[in-house]
């Protein structure tokens, strides 16, 4: 597949299609007071913040959204917690790595076919690693009700927890005195509040990395960082930008993802509880978490390409969190097809079980764009020194940079 460097489908397509903000107020708003007008700023977002940090919304009383999406880690997982425990007794394992919730404001709606100048780029958009949630308010239902996460039995239980919360009165003030007499509406109102909180720019898309400062002319890159960004963009070297887009369009800073789905051929993670069953495979777009594309075998193993902003403060990478350092990720990208024995286990007969997280007989849809375009005997797309430069660049994408007086 030929891929072009694309950034911000949203910016290209226009805010009406792209901004989740613009789309809110159309779906669940019929059941609650029309309160989305202040999305991101006012009372509703403030309520959403209270909810986001409130463990009493979970059946265990121990798990808040922030337990997995920690603001100190760009709303991604705290160290060692990428595959999180949850459930009533906090003993049910997660099946996927917790993503950062930053820079999701430009995620376009899921579509099976995204068309760019170079033609059909395949599936893109939607929330979660498999795009099964169209809106963030739909997405929030997933952790609130999942048996291995916050484990509520249904909307009524969530509404009851909200009624008993310390901010119940604020909730009534925002959504109507009788809101708790209508549990479904109270649940929807809660989802709306969580969504509004996740649209607060200073929290969720602050653009305060060194690279943003550099793009604004407020900081200089070191030589290593400069070499790193060139390798990131170079189609013959890292080629990273072809999926983790760096283009500035319509004045918007880069997203570092094109929101597309690709099968990178990530190795199976034996530490995921569900993987103890050899018949279980997390295949992204074709299921089992997502159900509408189950028959589309050509989409098995496809996961949404994440933004690499703030990636340097993660300690688990890819949808199944199998790798634990950027160095490992980058060596995997360039050695997957050169030294598969380093990355995949062996079969009983001693042969390498390449792509061991895809079921036997799965169609060959693993990506072979650079740097994943080598074969045994070839030299890797990046040398060790180039990998270090790329890491230096990725580290400039961490939010919270304060330019020194000399711009260093």
Pick the piece of the chain touching ligand HEC (CB under 6 A) from 129-137, 153-161, 168-176, 396-404.
129-137
In DSSP terms, 287 is beta-bridged to none
SS3 percent helix, strand, coil of the chain, rounded to 5, is 35, 5, 55
CB of 75 to ligand HEC, least distance (A): 8
110's CB contacts (< 8 A; 6+ apart) are 123, 124, 125, 126, 131, 132, 134
* Token duo for residue 63: 């798990």
Pick the piece of the chain touching ligand HEC (CB under 6 A) from 8-16, 30-38, 140-148, 399-407.
140-148
Residue burial 367-383, b: 16+ Cβ < 10 Å; e: rest:
beebbbebeeeeebbbe
Cβ closest to ligand HEC, residue 35 vs residue 102:
102
* Per-residue binding letters, 316-355, with ligand HEC (x by CB under 6 A): -xxx------x--xx--x----------------------
Region 196-235 residues binding ligand HEC, contact defined as CB under 6 A = none
CB of 165 to ligand HEC, least distance (A): 13
What distance in Å separates the CA atoms of residue 298 and residue 93, rounded to the nearest whole number? 28
Taking phi over 0 as left and psi of -120 to 50 as alpha, with beta for the rest, 266 belongs to beta
Decide: is 238 part of the binding site for ligand HEC (CB under 6 A): yes
Pick the piece of the chain touching ligand HEC (CB under 6 A) from 22-30, 110-118, 123-131, 271-279.
123-131
Q: From the CB of residue 355, how many other CB atoms can be counted at a distance below 10 Å?
A: 21
Q: Which of 306, 309, 47 is nearest to 194 (CA)?
A: 47
End-to-end CA distance of the chain: 40
Position among 40, 122, 123, 143 found at the interface with ligand HEC (CB under 6 A): 143
Position among 194, 221, 229, 285 found at the interface with ligand HEC (CB under 6 A): 194
CB of 208 to ligand HEC, least distance (A): 19
In DSSP terms, 85 is beta-bridged to 93
**Contact predicate 231/386, CB 8 Å:** yes
Region 77-106 residues binding ligand HEC, contact defined as CB under 6 A = 84, 86, 94, 96, 98-99, 101, 104
Position among 102, 136, 137, 374 found at the interface with ligand HEC (CB under 6 A): 136
CB of 39 to ligand HEC, least distance (A): 14
What distance in Å separates the CA atoms of residue 88 and residue 49, rounded to the nearest whole number? 23
CA R_g for the chain: 22
Decide: is 264 part of the binding site for ligand HEC (CB under 6 A): yes
* Token duo for residue 198: 């996740």
In DSSP terms, 346 is beta-bridged to 352
Residue 325's Cβ-count burial label (10 Å; 0-12, 13-18, 19+) is middle
Cβ closest to ligand HEC, residue 146 vs residue 404:
146
CB of 13 to ligand HEC, least distance (A): 18
Decide: is 262 part of the binding site for ligand HEC (CB under 6 A): yes
Decide: is 314 part of the binding site for ligand HEC (CB under 6 A): yes
Decide: is 128 part of the binding site for ligand HEC (CB under 6 A): yes
Decide: is 129 part of the binding site for ligand HEC (CB under 6 A): yes
146's CB contacts (< 8 A; 6+ apart) are 86
Pick the piece of the chain touching ligand HEC (CB under 6 A) from 141-149, 170-178, 202-210, 343-351.
141-149
Decide: is 283 part of the binding site for ligand HEC (CB under 6 A): no
CB of 94 to ligand HEC, least distance (A): 5
Q: What is the DSSP string of 36-71?
A: GGGTTTSHHHHHHHHHHT-GGGSTTS---HHHHSBG
What distance in Å separates the CA atoms of residue 312 and residue 166, rounded to the nearest whole number? 36
Count how many Cα atoms sit within 13 Å of the Cα of residue 64 in the half-sphere of its side chain: 15
Which positions touch ligand HEC (CB under 6 A)? 63, 65, 67-69, 84, 86, 94, 96, 98-99, 101, 104, 127-130, 136, 139-140, 143-144, 149-150, 194, 238-240, 242-244, 262, 264, 266, 289, 303, 305-306, 308, 311, 314, 317-319, 326, 329-330, 333, 367, 369, 371, 390
């Amino acid at each position: 597949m030929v891929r072009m460097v694309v950034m911000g489908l949203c910016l290209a397509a226009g805010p009406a299609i792209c901004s989740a903000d613009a789309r809110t107020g159309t779906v669940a708003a019929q059941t609650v007071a029309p309160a989305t007008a202040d999305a991101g700023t006012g009372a509703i977002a403030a309520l959403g913040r209270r909810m986001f940090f409130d463990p009493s919304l979970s059946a265990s009383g121990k798990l808040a959204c922030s337990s997995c999406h920690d603001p100190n880690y760009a709303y991604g997982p705290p160290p060692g917690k990428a595959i999180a425990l949850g459930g009533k007794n906090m003993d049910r394992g997660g099946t996927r790595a917790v993503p950062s919730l930053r820079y999701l404001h430009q995620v376009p709606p899921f579509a099976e076919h995204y068309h760019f100048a170079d033609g059909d780029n395949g599936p893109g958009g939607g929330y979660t690693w498999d795009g099964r949630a169209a809106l963030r308010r739909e997405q929030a239902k997933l952790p609130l009700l999942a048996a291995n996460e916050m484990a509520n039995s249904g909307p009524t239980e969530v509404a009851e927890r909200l009624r008993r919360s310390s901010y119940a009165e604020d909730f009534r003030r925002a959504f109507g005195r009788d809101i708790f007499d209508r549990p479904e509406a109270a649940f929807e109102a809660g989802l709306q509040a969580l969504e509004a909180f996740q649209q607060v720019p200073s929290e969720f898309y602050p653009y305060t990395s060194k690279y943003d400062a550099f793009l604004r002319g407020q900081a200089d890159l070191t030589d290593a960082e400069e070499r790193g960004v060139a390798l990131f963009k170079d189609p013959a070297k890292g080629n990273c930008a072809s999926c983790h887009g760096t283009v500035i369009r319509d004045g918007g800073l880069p997203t570092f993802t094109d929101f597309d789905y690709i099968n990178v051929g990530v190795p199976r993670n034996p530490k995921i509880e569900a993987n103890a069953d050899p018949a279980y495979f997390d295949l992204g777009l074709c299921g089992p978490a997502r159900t509408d594309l189950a028959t589309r075998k050509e989409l098995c193993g496809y996961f949404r390409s994440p933004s690499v902003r703030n990636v340097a403060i993660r300690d688990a990478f890819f949808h199944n969190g199998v790798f634990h350092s950027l160095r490992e990720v980058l060596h995997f990208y360039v050695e997957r097809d050169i030294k598969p024995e380093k990355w995949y286990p062996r079969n009983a007969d001693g042969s390498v079980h390449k792509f061991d997280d895809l079921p036997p007989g799965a169609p060959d849809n693993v990506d072979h764009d650079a740097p994943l375009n080598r074969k045994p005997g070839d030299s890797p797309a990046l040398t060790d020194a180039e990998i270090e430069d790329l890491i230096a660049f990725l580290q400039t994408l961490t939010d919270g940079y304060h330019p020194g007086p000399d711009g260093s």
